[in-house]
Amino acid sequence: MLNFADSLHEELVAIRRDLHGHPELLYSTDRTASIVAGLLEEWGLHVVTGVGPHFGKGVVGTLRGSLPGGRTILLRADMDALPIQELNEIDYRSEVDGVMHACGHDAHTAMLLGAAKTLAAHRDHWAGEIRFVFQPAEEGALPSPLDGRLLSGGRDMIEAGILDGVDRCYALHVWPELAAGTIGIHERYAMAASSHFHVTLQGKNGHHSTPHLAVDAIQMTAAYIQAINGLMAHGVDPTESAVLAFGTVQAGTVINAIAERSVISGTFRAFSKETVAAITEGLHRHAQAVSLSYGGSYELSFREGIAVVNDAEAVREVIRSGAAIVGRSRMLQLDAPSLAGEDFGWYLERVPGAFILLGCGNAEQGITDGLHRPRFNLDESVLTHGVKLLVHLVVDGQ
């Protein structure tokens, strides 16, 4: 099976480059999902499209081995890109203005497809059931058309029941800080809970000559930002890792009128549920206090985040399989978790598993830029490493 995976290299590169040239945002992943579903069906998997009760954009392929017994293992890849203008001068650069696969989801999708093809071609040699999950909207969230909650693709698909009966789940993420040919795993915490917030402060417009008749949304914004900076400095346990940053502020329409409305957005990242709850409560409390003090009002919406927490036994399985693929010296046990966020944490909250970092950096090839940057790229030799790791986890875990 591992030799078969090696033979897929050119096919995987072609798939990855095609997806890279045609990136899609959040839940608008119809082209990618169609390619995925078509290939899975061609290889003999049972395929369900339109997965997710809220947005219906996920794809799940199911495959059973011919041997008796075995566990149910879920393997997940994300399909969405980022609103970033690509600056790479490559033949397969993004053809969509302002959109780019700057986080490697094109590679994740290609590798999971490679694992599906390999396992389908050798189903007589393994037991159990594999669910190949291709999810949209890992990079963000949109309000649900059903209940208004801000939902990422992982949460939408989980609510469709994709985790029912699953014994173990795994996801790969390419990681440019690690050299190509290495695999990294955290013993417990891999990533922080990354939560997004949007605050609307509503005032009352007016002329600059009569400020007493208006409620200035810009003044409210300044007071709110100052209050939240104070919350992070004094309202969060200093022994806990946590960070909050504002990303956008939109207020006002003309130079000589008092703004009646301001919209502020940002993210905060922490690990413990208690710290996440404390920051969430503080965002509400200070918005209410500022609104009351100025005579305005507020609305606050969240995309709730959750930490990515690996299971101890699953980590041991990754170490064993990773060492078999790249060698024990290149199977790295990582210490400090990342403050980046990943909605695979919602999977790991319900099913034991692990989030695995696949080294993709190559200084000799000039591949050194980090994730979410306009010149991000990866050493494509790692595509077969990822396929072989997933295949080994499935077969070794049965």
- pLDDT tens digits for 258-315? 999 999 999 999 998 889 999 999 999 999 999 999 999 999 988 888 999 999 999 9
Which of 387, 390, 370 has its CA nearest to residue 378? Answer: 370
pLDDT of residue 397: 67
At CA 15, angle to CA 72 and CA 180, rounded to 5?
80
Q: Is the pLDDT of residue 398 over 80?
A: no
**pLDDT of 377:** 97
Structure confidence at residue 35 (pLDDT) = 98
Distance CA 254, CA 239 (A): 45
pLDDT bin (cut points 50, 70, 90) of residue 239 is confident
Token pair recorded at residue 140:
């963000």
Residue 323 has pLDDT above 90, yes or no: yes
Can you give the pTM of this predicted structure?
0.90
- Per residue in 85-140, pLDDT (tens digit) is 999 999 999 999 999 999 999 999 999 999 999 999 999 999 999 999 999 999 98
Q: 197: pLDDT confidence band, cut at 50, 70 and 90?
A: very high
| Model confidence pLDDT, tens digit, residues 175-190 | 999 999 999 999 999 9
Q: Any idea how long the chain is? A: 398
pLDDT confidence of residue 341: 87
8 Å CB contact between 309 and 190: yes
> Does the pLDDT value for residue 332 go beyond 70?
yes
Spatial distance between the Cα atoms of 177 and 171, rounded to a whole number of angstroms: 18
Cβ-proximal residues to 128 (8 Å cutoff; 6+ apart), any chain:
64, 65, 69, 70, 71, 72, 73, 394, 398
Is residue 235 within 8 A of residue 249, CB to CB? The reply is no
Strands 127-135 and 297-303 turn out to be unpaired
Round to whole Å and give the CA distance between 304 and 273: 11
**pLDDT 10s digits, 2-18:** 999 999 999 999 999 99
The whole-number pLDDT of residue 305 equals 86
List pLDDT tens digits, range 217-237. 999 999 999 999 999 999 998
